Amino acid sequence: MRAIVLVGALASAVFLFASASPAGAQAGDAQAGRAVYERKCALCHGEKGDGKGPGADLLDPRPRDFTTGIYKIRTTVNKTPTDRDLFDVITRGMPGTFMPAWDVLPEKDRWNLVAYLKAFAADKFKEAPKKQELPKEVASSPESIRRGKEMYEAIECNKCHGAEGRADGPSRPELKDEWGHPIRPANLTKRWTFRGGGGRAEIAMRLTTGVLGTPMPSFIDSVEKPDDIWHLANYLASLGPESPHYATLLTAEAVNGDIPADPVAEFWTRMAPQNIPLVGQVTIDPRNFNPSIDMVALRAAWNDKEVAFHVTWDDPTQSGADAAKKASPDVVSLQFPQKVAEGADRPYFLMGGDADAVYLLRWENGKGATEASANGPTRIVPLAGGEVTGQAAYANGQYRLVLKRPLVSKGPDRPTFQPAVFLPIAFQAWDGGAGETGAKMSLTSWYYLRLEEPQSSRRFVVPPVVAILTFAAMLLVVRVANRRA
Amino acid sequence: MRRALGVVLAAALVAGVALFVQRPDPVDAQGGGTVEVTVTYNGAPVVEKLKVNKDTEKCGTEAVIEKIVVGGNKGLANAVVSVPTAKGAPKMAKATVDQHGCKFVPHVTAMTPGDLELKNSDDILHNIHTYSTANPSINKAQPKFKKVMMEKFEKPEIIKLTCDVHSWMLGWVAVLPTPFFAVSDASGAAKIENVPAGKQTVEVWHETLGKQTKEVDVKAGQVVKVGFEMKK
């Protein structure tokens, strides 16, 4: 009995020790790390660690060149990252880039990788990392957020990140990393794309240390008081959610009365956005490996006559077609099947195929709303005589658009919108300012849209009536029973 | 006791004299010579121009990037002239670079290892982003209310200064192993005084046209003239 207790205590001690160890860095074995590296990392980062793997040219941002010893994400005063910094990047990946999270690898493999990465720039790691301490944490509060906004304006974060944080600052087109490659500022309203994480402490650390190799400078000596780092972090965290909470099924709300055509009308802000991720089109040439538009937010409504789609998306440059400058316009399009088929058959997601055309509701900056039918990205035919109307607004790196169409179609090229049906829908977007045009776009696969049926007021009447009737029946039963007794 | 005090005093005296003697004074009684350098470039100036899209009230509407500035008589401005073979105490006066009109002023700064004062007299955000290898490179924001920052450059090397907010801003800081240096003026002239007498090497560095060296014989109290013709 005693022995069992002893063994149990020992086992739990070992367990405690083992589970405590992830907090501390482990010494990795570079040779063992090499084996993992060659299987998992070399394709992009190159066998020599120079960031020139066979896949590198397709990637933007480019994979890290480990021989420079320069790492974006660190928690140190000097350039040398800690082992834990490297381990965390391997584990979590670099959100918003092609670097995935490698938490699928055993922890030991990841520590071994850390040791191997350091060996690529052994001379750079001779200098020991000096831990960066953060100023004492300031909890988020309306006052702190207000102070953060004040600081944001005083230190001119807007120069790169834009007045409302959507990466549309005037210095944006000039930004380059230390190797001369163009680089984009972070969209501060999308914390889930922050390379080093979107938590408040992580944001405070990035503000403090800067992001090595990029234009993002260190701000610890450049705020009025050290506390301001936290006020700024609290303000940035208030600009958007930590996760986009992507929608899976899209719905259009039934409304009585008119639907406003104005995209900035209050009507639309009362409705919750349905966020949909967009990815670069990489199926056919020209492929788009670093798409500008990575998300659209949909709000939709319908009444007895028409259906309206309110689309919000971030685009750092408002651009229209300009033949002289070879500039392309900003475009967004909503895609539907021409006919809503019974069953699960849908046209090819990439703007239809030879035999199965799709119907597009398009809006183009400078041209407005149009309808088209398409049999692929290069075979788009405008539809004449439509009734689609569109109205857009652009401000601080963001478009808001309302597209409206009658529910009932005027011919075989257009679908009719019916309530309570799962209607396939897909999205495409082009940022003309980023040179996106034609097949170079960002898009989604098929989603389903459902026009919710009007919620009749019966639901407020029927259940109470049933409850009252039941209660009355019970009383009756009790009374009858009592009388008999 | 008295004897001990005497020893200490004597030691202090010796040490003081030794320090005094050891410290080479540029204005030495023995005298040094003056090196007058003329830097020329037999080619066209290279000046890039860029339309400014922000901060125009401070930066103007057109940014000028002066890669090669040629003055009268083909004189090449902004060349760093130094005598690396002549050793001496670091210059005491700190070097200063101002960010003014969205330009680094002066465009080229020469200094001995030590502090560099970075001023921002523009009342807008700049960020000092340096490219260096021997010294730690820095990327620090300097918002409008941060009028002065001090940075240490302890090792000799040539450091590029940039600003990511205003991509056209370009400056150079030459951290030199010798206090005997000058930067050529608009006519390509640079004068270095009190250079220790003897055989010395004169070095010229220009951001676009590279480096050249020449041997000179410096004589006390005399002026030695040397010309450099820089080539692409």
Q: What is the pLDDT of residues B163-197, one digit of tens each?
A: 999 999 999 999 999 999 999 999 999 999 999 99
Tens digits of residue pLDDT in A10-54: 445 444 444 434 456 788 999 999 999 999 999 999 999 999 999
Residue A153: pLDDT over 80: yes
Spatial strand order in the sheet of B189-195: B189-195, B33-41, B223-230
DSSP character at residue B90 = P
What residues in A contact B139, CB-CB < 8 Å? 210, 212, 215-218
Task: Assess if residue A18 is contained within a domain.
Answer: no
Pairwise CB contact (< 8 Å): B164 & A212: no
Residue A332 lies in a domain: yes
Tell which residue, A169, A187, A403, A426, has the closest CA to residue A293: A187
Look at residue A325 and tell me if it is in a domain: yes
Chain A CB contacts of B146 under 8 Å are 221-222
Q: Are residues A406 and A472 in the same domain?
A: no
Tell whether B5 is covered by a domain: no
- Total number of domains in chain B: 1
Whether A414 is covered by a domain: the verdict is yes
Domain that holds residue B85: 27-230
Residue B39 pLDDT greater than 60, yes or no: yes
Residue A16: inside a domain: no
- Mark which of A237, A262, A283 sits at the end of a domain: A237
Q: What is the mean pLDDT of residues A399-417?
A: 92
Whole-angstrom Cα distance, residue B214 to residue B159?
23
CA nearest B130 in A: which residue? Answer: A178
Helices first, then strands: H and E counts in chain B: 2, 18
Residue B9 pLDDT class (50, 70, 90 cuts): low
In this prediction, residues A375-403 reach a mean pLDDT of: 94
Same domain membership, residue A313 and residue A194: no
| Both structure tokens of B166 | 């205003």
pLDDT band at residue B30 under the 50/70/90 scheme? low
Asked if residue B15 is part of any domain, the answer here is: no
With CB atoms and an 8 Å threshold, state whether A215 touches B54: no
User: Which residues from chain B sit within 8 angstroms of residue A210, using beta carbons?
Assistant: 139-140
Residue A144 has pLDDT above 80, yes or no: yes
Give every CB contact of residue A468 below 8 A, 6+ residues apart in sequence.
Answer: none
Is residue A221 situated within a structural domain? yes
Domain match, A366 and A320 both:
yes
pLDDT bin (cut points 50, 70, 90) of residue B22 is very low
Task: Identify the pLDDT of residue B29.
Answer: 39
Residues A117 and A175 in one domain: no
pLDDT-based confidence at A280, cuts 50/70/90?
very high
Distance CA A155, CA A53 (A): 39
Band (pLDDT 50/70/90 cuts) for residue A263 is very high
Q: B124–A212: do the CB atoms touch at under 8 Å?
A: no
Pairing of strands B157-162, B210-218: unpaired
Output the domain CATH number for residue B201: 2.60.40.420
Q: Residue B38 and residue B81: Cα distance in Å, rounded?
A: 10
Residues 6+ apart with CB under 8 A from A452: A251, A252, A253, A254, A419, A420
Looking at residue B23, what is its pLDDT? 47
C-beta of residue A122 within 8 angstroms of C-beta of residue A68: no
Q: Is the pLDDT of residue A201 over 70?
A: yes
Contact B129 A217 (CB under 8 A): yes
ipTM above 0.95, yes or no: no
A359-368 tens-digit pLDDT: 999 999 999 9
Mean pLDDT of chain B: 89
- Contact list in A for residue B54 (CB cut-off 8 A) is 159, 170-171
Q: Is residue A243 part of a domain?
A: no
B1 versus B96: which is more confidently predicted?
Answer: B96
pLDDT of residue B8: 56
A430 & A477 share domain:
no
The partner residues of A138 in beta bridges, in order of sequence, read: none
Report CA Rg, chain A: 28
Most B CBs within 10 Å: which of A79, A155, A176, as the mutation test of the B interface?
A155
Same domain, A419 and A277: yes
Confidence of residue A386 (pLDDT cuts 50, 70, 90): confident
Question: Which domain covers residue A204, as residue numbers?
Answer: 142-237
Instruction: Tell me, yes or no, whether A338 and A309 share the same domain.
Output: yes
User: Mind telling me how many Å the CA of A376 is from chain B's nearest CA?
Assistant: 39
Q: Specify whether A207 is located in the same domain as A255.
A: no
pTM of the model: 0.85
Query: Could you tell me if residue B14 is inside a domain?
Result: no
Alpha carbon distance B27, B45 (integer Å): 38
What is the number of domains present in chain A? 4
The predicted pLDDT at position B24 comes to 46
Give the CA distances from residue A480 to residues A3, A289, A483, in Å, rounded to whole numbers and listed in that order: 70, 78, 5
Q: Please check whether residue A66 is in contact with residue A125, taking contact to mean a CB–CB distance below 8 angstroms.
A: no
